[in-house]
A and B are shown apart, each in its own frame.
Chain A
Amino acid sequence: KAGVTQTPRYLIKTRGQQVTLSCSPISGHRSVSWYQQTPGQGLQFLFEYFSETQRNKGNFPGRFSGRQFSNSRSEMNVSTLELGDSALYLCASSSQTGMNTEAFFGQGTRLTVV
């Protein structure tokens, strides 16, 4: 069974640009969550999607957005990039019953903003 796949693995962008990250969950998983990992703030919850609907959102500015497609694949978008957006972005998928069962994480996308 394939795991959670995140693309691309590495990305370098310039301040002011926008970026789109992709996450393909484990087959059959309908819940996809995104987290930002930085040395200073640790792991912080961005948002969660279930059946194409955003169910929960963390405390991030509106520049951070996401969506989920009918095949459960998810994308997150960051517009008007800032240096502080440099981070490892992790995607996690879980079964219909949610993350209490088990959340499976991808390897992440390392975003560097210069």
Chain B
Amino acid sequence: GDSVTQMEGPVTLSEEAFLTINCTYTATGYPSLFWYVQYPGEGLQLLLKATKADDKGSNKGFEATYRKETTSFHLEKGSVQVSDSAVYFCALYKAAGNKLTFGGGTRVLVKP
């Protein structure tokens, strides 16, 4: 079945450091890919998405490129802030089933 694997955390960074969270997927067909963020005590918020190969999703300084050849969708941000501390989830969507399949989540802690 479909699956998403992302790097385990926690990832601890200093403010203004570069952030990368690796995400790879296994799926047949052509899924859409998403990054969601979960702040403490909150639900999930969509951070960015890409619906086809080579698409780049971007939002709030975060970027991710849909790489079909490596089945990856790595999340990057050039300069993190303390407010970026959260848990980040990579997910894929396929129309058949109309559901999101999530990775295990990566906790990011940014220190001042």
Contacts and interface: CB of A to CB of B under 8 A. Distances in A.
Interface stretch (A11-19, A79-87, A100-108): A100-108
B100 A103 contact: yes
Contacts of B51: 100
Interface in A41-98: 42-43, 45, 48, 50, 55-56, 58, 90, 92, 98
A56 B97 contact: yes
Interface stretch (B10-18, B38-46, B69-77): B38-46
B43 A99 contact: no
Contacts of A50: 98
Contact of B99 (A6, A58, A104): A58
Interface residues of B, number: 22
Interface residues of A, number: 25
Contacts of B45: 105
Interface of B: 32, 36, 41-46, 49, 51, 89, 93, 95, 97-105
7 contacts: A33-B100, A35-B102, A43-B89, A43-B100, A100-B32, A105-B43, A107-B42
Nearest to A103: B100
